[in-house]
Chains A and B, each alone.
Chain A
């Protein structure tokens, strides 16, 4: 499709939003793309470098087999065609993050072409297929650290040469929400395949977003502007929203969209112009003379195909169908493989309803993990102690409140739920007489409860039950308390 410059002359004109994305994902291989240096995040600056990734003259790259395998795996998961003959190309640009002054990427013969990413919208009720142009392999650049006070830029080449795949979409996304769903689907899929950890906070997944507007229904694309290096899902959503609004304002005021490149500035909560693009950056691509054409065997592709597990969209649908959990919960579970596995293992034991397992996992378990800033696998929670805890609650032996105390302990220490209950005296009191005595005490020390209830404020019961639970040190059965308190008030 041709590009045309629109003059937005009618302020009331409605626009179609057209968005295309380039997503860069670091592959979690042990070593770099073209040399054997370690591929790890962090570590001492410039400690994982060699003559090859530093671009010393006379060195030659060799392609990492695992990286190719991972890239093919990603391509197959997104239904791409794998090119049996693929070649590498030099993308030339002169910048300090690039020791060779070129990046070994792919141009004319990328590894994967076509395919699509299916995104779920409207709580999973709608799906949309976003076509892919290609997925190609390349290497990451070094990291620039800007020292404002000294007016210097420091360069760390540990990241230079880390294997990347770039997933290039067709311009088929049409809102910030679709961008978010698209990024989430890519992340969940690649994590599920085990080819990347997709940690946006560590920069292992980043994207460039192209946004343009065209009059509603028009076939011709408007001038696009690019936002580079967006490093978070929320950043992507906000950057897209800001850009759509900016372009609308320009067009509605009768102006023209100029092709510019921006970057998302988290602190300013806005896009910042990087440079005006008078012409496309001249990367002077040419075939990489240091690497022969890479041939891929059909047998190899078939072998990789067999290693592809159940993918997130299918998993999400199955979780909703088999366990009757809601979309929001299923969506959160598929975004975290460990939690998802724990959910299924525990739900299958049928100690309680699957939605309760999901609620605990996504509620209190996630809260505790967040507070401690650890992952599920780093805690002591396992299928056995978690299901025991749920069973104790289900059988009425402990209350939900006591369950929280048990959870804290079993996630932290090598202790069984029963041991926690014994140690802390958490056994739930179901004895009505004992509970009645507690309720009576609460009502006599809080006379306002009865008064408010008589005035029609029946929701004061919740407060009363809360006070009863507090007085019983979390041991009272809240369901019985509810009944007793109501009875006592009504009897006056």
Chain B
């Protein structure tokens, strides 16, 4: 499986040092090797995605939202009821 840590880091907006790239590259490759065997696991004749399983649809009925305080409870920084992100302009 081809994998480019720098590219993935860029997509996740991570700034990685040379050392970190070297360190994480090895770690992630190990993880990937672990899951690479999955396609070869015997499936006992069953599809990986059971296409007979119907997608349950939800009626268009309102359920209660959570309070603004709860919404923001994990926010590292908040202002005027909003999450604060670094300037994007």
Q: Which residues of A contact B (CB under 8 A)?
A: 29-31, 35-38, 44-51, 54, 62-68, 85, 92-94, 96, 144-148, 151-157, 282, 284, 287, 291-295
Say yes or no: A295-B54 contact (C-beta < 8 A), given A29-B60, A46-B81: yes
CA distance A145 to B58 in the complex (A): 31
Task: Pick the contact of B60: A31, A51, A144, A284 (CB < 8 A).
Answer: A31
- Interface of B: prevailing SS: loop
Residue tally, chain B, CB below 8 Å to A = 35
* B10-59 interface with A by 8 A CB criterion: 11-13, 49-51, 53-59
Determine if A51 and B89 form an interchain contact, defined as CB atoms under 8 angstroms apart.
no
Chain B hits for A63, CB < 8 A: 55-58
CA distance A46 to B4 in the complex (A): 37
Determine if A65 and B49 form an interchain contact, defined as CB atoms under 8 angstroms apart.
no
Nearest chain-B residue to A287 (Cβ)?
Answer: B49
Chain B hits for A67, CB < 8 A: 60
Determine if B81 and A31 form an interchain contact, defined as CB atoms under 8 angstroms apart.
no
B65 at interface, CB cutoff 8 A: yes
Determine if A36 and B61 form an interchain contact, defined as CB atoms under 8 angstroms apart.
yes
Determine if A155 and B85 form an interchain contact, defined as CB atoms under 8 angstroms apart.
yes
Say yes or no: A38-B65 contact (C-beta < 8 A), given A49-B71, A154-B79: yes
Task: A31-B62, A152-B86 are known; give 17 further A-B pairs, CB within 8 A.
Answer: A29-B60, A31-B63, A36-B64, A37-B62, A37-B63, A44-B81, A49-B71, A63-B55, A67-B60, A94-B11, A144-B85, A152-B87, A153-B85, A153-B86, A156-B81, A293-B55, A294-B54
CA distance A154 to B71 in the complex (A): 14
Chain B hits for A284, CB < 8 A: 11
Determine if A65 and B58 form an interchain contact, defined as CB atoms under 8 angstroms apart.
yes
B88 at interface, CB cutoff 8 A: yes
Determine if B50 and A292 form an interchain contact, defined as CB atoms under 8 angstroms apart.
yes
B68 at interface, CB cutoff 8 A: yes
